[in-house]
Structure 1
Amino acid sequence: MEQVASYLCLILAALLLPLLFLKLSRRGGNGGGQRLPPGPSRLPLIGSLHHFLLSRSPLAHRTMADLARRHGAPLMYLRLGEVGLVVASSPAAAREVMRAHDTAFASRPWIPSMRPAMERGAVGLVFARHGPLWRQLRSVSVLELLSARRVRSFRRVREDEARRLVAAVAAAPAPGPGGEAVVNVGELLAALTTDVTVRAVIGDRFDRREEFARAVEEGGRLITRFSLGDLFPSSRLLRFLSRKAGQAMDLHRKMFELMDCAIRQHEERRAAVASAPDGTVKEEDEGILGVLLRIHKEGGLEVPLTMDIVKSLILDLFSGGSDTSGSTLEWAMSELMRNPRAMEKAQAEVRSKLHGKPSVIEDDLRDLNYLKLVIKETLRLHPVLPLLLPRECAEDREVMGYDVPKGATVLVNAWAIGRDPEYWDDADAFKPERFEDGKIDYKGTDFEFIPFGAGRRMCPGTLFAQAVMELALASLLYHFDWKLPGGMKPSELDMTEKMGMAVKRKDDLYLRPVVRVPVPPQSTDST
């Protein structure tokens, strides 16, 4: 493996040799006298790339954590080609980036190959640069779209989809890889979280859900795909040779066409509801999209909410609300299967609190304290965005005694911070009890635990995700006992991660469900 990586490194250097003279002709050295954060050695032209090519892990968050640990660099500087990268890998460094200097790091960098697509169509909340548009979208999202009141209004949707989930588990067991009757837990959880999110946004299931799910998956692969044009943005040749920009434009057009379809479906359904005998459009029928369309029509905002911005924003909500929550739930089930004592304790709590009720409803969640601890511990060990989302340094800043240059991309390694043995006892072990004292939460004030980020760019959908995850996990634990297939021992369950924006399991999680509490008959109501 190391020999292959060495050859790749040499090939990369040879391919980029024509750029070397251009590189040497520019001002280089130590960044114009700046005192950059410490980091690993850098080679001419390719910078720190060889450390990733020679790494034992193909996962960037693990490689960065290892480099930061080896070089004693809680704030670390890397150079990937022409791109300067600063990585915060400790709670103190994260606090500096996301609180002390939050304004300076409040913008998102635009990947060069993705820039044409972003410039052609409006960006939503996720990739908007810090400024009037972002502040407006943030305000609309927090106050109108994802407020506590709005999240509560979708309770019926979550409870309906949770019932559908357990009905699907009870009906779906089929011969799996080992011939046993099993279910693909991750697949079912992905369907649940996608349907909850889409129904909250447009008021109904999306007719083209499968097509949309494939497009989101392709978008994740595209963003994380290696491209020399992204690492050497000054080279027109490399940008020309890269196919990534063209693929990004094609995906952008596809996503916007799907959003047009979602808007049409929403308006048709809303018209049908309004023409019904009572003619009442309920809040959950209006959906988040209805709120956005109302704001769009009313106008009066500092930055007009164009239809392209509406499409971009609902695309952010679709993508962020489905992929991340589903992955977290799959990791939670994986950890519980590897830790039978924790599984037994979580199930005992759910079943003792519900006292034989036909199904779990959200009122039952208030007293499920251990289940909430399970979700917290899962988020600590498996933040689905282990490097959160990148930030960009808007101006030269001094952080922890080092100079962070303007234009540098800044990452916060939430995965490394969540496993830092200085702050967590037995850091790699799954121990939900560590959160029992309630002193640490994921609301953005405890920087040793930041799965949703912190500061201005913290995820605004935390309440929505929490509601979905708690109800879905409680439902699975209440109705079923779970067995590993093929006589597999808990310690044998493979927990290898898969590369992507959202870090998922490399292998599908197949489990054998055994009905413990009968599953109620499923309603035929389509919504």
Structure 2
Amino acid sequence: MSKFQLLIQQQMNEIIFHPYLVQSLVSLFLFWFITKWFFKPAGNKKSPPSPPKLPIVGNLHQLGSLPHRNLQALAKKHGPLMLLHLGTKPTLVVSSADAAREIMKTHDLIFADRPQSSVTRRLLYDKDVSVSPYGEYWRQLKSICVLQLLSNKRVQSFHSIREEETTLLVKKIRKSSFPVNLSEMFAELTNDVVCISTFGRKFSEGENGKKFLSLLTEFLELLGTISIGNFIPGLSWINRVNGFDARVDEVSKELDEFLEGVIRESTETPKEDKTGANFVDILLEIYQSNSSGVPIDRDSIKAIILDVFAAGTDTTSTVLEWAMTELLRHPSVMKKLQTEVREIVKDKQDITESDLEKMHYLKAVIKETLRFHTPIPLLVPRKARKDVKIMGYDVSAGTTVRGY
């Protein structure tokens, strides 16, 4: 079970056993019962298949501690397009390639928005590229990320960083005379690579570095936490009682102070003293030249930096961890992969990225790992911007769309 799944189970248990939850649900049920008399169903709309739901909680109780498995069971019964009601939030669950293609390709602009929550707004400044609403600001930020940060030329410019950090990891494993914790090593590797690419230096050592990594870990946990208030607004007060809101505010404040210090340091360091341009330098140059066409401020820079860490650290280390786990469980695959690596590397001490391009079986192993163990069990959701028809069914504006 991944960290994200454990986090979901922990949060569901906290929701189920909260001492005030029963009284709150009773009150909300009475409120629902009264307002139901004023509800008028839509006339000729054909809604997607939907399992029976309970008042107030909708289908939340059917997710359980392993939501991906329960969703799979429900999809087998109701089909590749299934409408769930998670509290007050209608959610369209997609489980087929044809349905996903219609949503993400045929009607991509209608589903370009991401659902937002108070947590993402506070942690990501309400200005990041991952959840900002579709519009000119989002298009410009996406253009900056695609052309300036994640272009093939830019990614290749950091190949020496990836090769150097991978070589250090292999040497550390070779020198160890005791069993090693690959999970910790993979996490440290991905953090170091992203830190050097983003800030120009590592943060795995030193007091400030350890504090940042601790903040980053908590930041990712908070982003992945399921809050009952997102689904049942009447229960949002639980986050204040159990201290969740206070944690979000504290992590947001400390991360802001850290990133502000990094930006200040980068602006005060002369260019001739820098080893090369990193993400922060590139973003600051765009900010100072005002060349993006939309107002990019310091908060926008911080939000993009956090997007990079959220997308490129824990997800990468999780895939590496699962790949090693599956190789250990399948010795024949491990042996075949070892043979391919040894034939290509031969007598060389270190593996380069040009070597990796020749390792076709390794690529197949990574793809199969991603197929079996996606880093995020429930894919990043989208939201319908207006009413639309998908595979013959009517989907209302504001409906959240999730795939698994």
Structure 2 length normalisation: TM-score? 0.88
Q: Which residue of 2 aligns with 1:187?
A: 184
Q: Which residue identity is paired with 1:350? A: V
- Name the amino acid aligned to 1:318: F
Assess, with a 3 A threshold, how the Cα gap between structure 1 residues 238 and 354 changes in structure 2: closer, same or farther: closer
Which digits, 9 at most, give the CA deviation of each residue in 1:247-275, with x for residues without a partner? 3222221221221233245456x53x614
In structure 2, the residue corresponding to 1:86 is in which secondary structure? strand
Match of 1:40 in 2: 51
Tell me, in whole angstroms, the C-alpha distance in 1 between the residues paired with 2:115 and 2:213.
Answer: 25
SS of the residue 2:84 aligns to? strand
The amino acid of 1:23's aligned partner reads: W
Residue 150 of structure 1: aligned partner: 154
Kept in 1: contact 2:60–2:86 (CA 8 A): yes
Which runs of structure 2 are paired with 1:214-225 in the superposition (5 Å)? 214-225=214-225
Amino acid across the alignment from 1:304:
P
The alignment partner of 1:403 has SS state of strand
2:200 matches 1:203: yes
One of 73, 83, 86 as aligned partner of 1:80: 86
Aligned to 1:97: 103
Q: Secondary structure, in 3 states, of the residue corresponding to 2:313?
A: helix
- Equivalent pair of 1:39/1:73 in contact (CA under 8 Å): no
Alignment of 1:121-520 (within 5 A): 121-173=125-177, 181-206=178-203, 208-233=208-233, 241=241, 243-267=243-267, 270-271=269-270, 274-275=272-273, 285-413=276-404
CA deviations 1:258-309 (Å, max 9, x no partner) are 21233245456x53x614xxxxx56xx2111111110000004332110100
Distance in 2 between residues matched to 1:254 and 1:124, nearest whole Å: 18
TM-fit CA distance, 1:116: 5.6
Code of the aligned partner of 1:83: K
Q: Say which of 52, 69, 91 aligns to 1:62.
A: 69
Letter of the 1:227 partner, please give it.
S
Q: Distance in 2 between matches of 1:167 and 1:377?
A: 27
AA of the residue aligned to 1:117: R
TM-score by length of 1: 0.68
Q: Which residue of 1 aligns with 2:9?
A: none
Taking the aligned partners of 1:16 and 1:256, their CA distance within structure 2 comes to: 37
**How has the CA–CA distance of structure 1 residues 240 and 288 changed in structure 2, closer, same or farther, with 3 Å as cutoff?**
closer
Contact 1:157 1:199 in 2 (8 A): yes
Q: Distance in 1 between matches of 2:354 and 2:134?
A: 39
Return the offset for 1:235: 5.9
**Alignment partner of 1:293: what SS?**
helix
Matched letter for residue 292 of structure 1: L
- Residue 3 of structure 2 corresponds to none
Contact 2:287 2:297 in 1 (8 A): yes
2-side partners of 1:116 and 1:159: how far apart?
Answer: 36
Q: Residues 455-477 of structure 1: CA distance to partner in whole angstroms, max 9, x if unpaired?
A: xxxxxxxxxxxxxxxxxxxxxxx
- The aligned counterpart of 2:6 is none
Cα separation, 1, equivalents of 2:18 and 2:53: 15
SS in structure 2 opposite 1:84?
strand
Structure 2 equivalent of residue 421 of structure 1:
none
Identity %: 35
Change (3 A) 1:95 1:383: same
Counterpart CA distance in 1 for 2:141 and 2:46 is 36
Secondary structure in structure 2 of the residue aligned to 1:398: strand
Report the Cα distance in structure 2 between the residues aligned to 1:135 and 1:320, rounded to whole angstroms: 19
Q: 1:14 offset after TM fit, Å?
A: 4.4
Unaligned runs of 5+ in 1: 174-180, 276-280, 414-527
Q: Which residue identity is paired with 1:114?
A: V
Matched residue, 1:50: 61
Tell which deviates more after alignment, 396-405 or 192-201.
Answer: 396-405
Tell me the amino acid that sits aligned with residue 344 of structure 1.
K
User: For 1:314 and 1:210, how far apart are their aligned partners in 2?
Assistant: 18
- Quote the RMSD (CA, aligned, Å): 2.6
Q: Structure 1's 59 and 107: CA in aligned 2 closer, same or farther, altered over 3 A?
A: same
Deviation at 1:239, TM superposition (A): 6.7
* C-alpha contact (below 8 Å) 1:387/1:411 kept by paired residues: yes
Q: What secondary structure sits across from 2:109 in the alignment?
A: coil
Decide whether aligned partners of structure 1 residues 382 and 116 sit closer, same or farther in structure 2, where only a CA change above 3 A counts. Answer: closer
